Chains A and B, each alone.
Chain A
């Protein structure tokens, strides 16, 4: 069964902290990886794609380890506005371009 597993959290951190999330995926044929962000009672939105060499977007760094089939997201200098649920997403490679979503990791940043 295709699955993406994440620690549901919540991760409670103070402003300015560095926090890291990991997720594992079971489909070794997966080729595309993403992190989405979902605010409370809102729709998911793409945060960043994850590339094999790792990539950074401001305070956010994503890493991919294909051998171990895990993806990570590092958030530096956390802001109150980073409070959200972070969804790890992997392409399902089922013959169509569908995505498999993890259940998400909740982050709460406090003053």
Chain B
């Protein structure tokens, strides 16, 4: 069974803080993704990665960066948190480029004050 875990379920941070969201998958998946989900806007892709140390911008990368130092771990970094980054953040992974089914972690609800 695929398991994707995220470091926190709930997080409260202050404006200007640097925020790290961690995601780990245990199924040796090549691909990992970070989304945010907001009411009325659906799931939007922030960044994704197809290999260690590789990253690609998604649809809304501004204000975010990512790190993938190990295959199983994909980190999302908010360099200077702002209130408009209050959201639900979802990490996902998929097996390889030809296998598109994505498996999601439980999500992190981030509140930026």
Listed in ascending order, the chain A residues whose CB lies under 8 Å from chain B are 32, 34, 42-46, 49, 87, 91, 96-99, 101-104
Contacts and interface: CB of A to CB of B under 8 A. Distances in A.
A54 B33 CA distance: 29
Interface of B: 31, 33, 40-43, 45, 48, 50, 56, 58, 90, 94, 97-107
Contacts of A34: 100-101
Contact of B50 (A43, A91, A96, A104): A96
B102 A99 contact: yes
Contacts, number: 44
A57 to B, nearest CB: 14
16 contacts: A34-B100, A43-B106, A43-B107, A44-B43, A44-B90, A44-B104, A45-B104, A46-B102, A87-B43, A96-B97, A97-B31, A97-B99, A98-B33, A99-B100, A99-B102, A103-B40
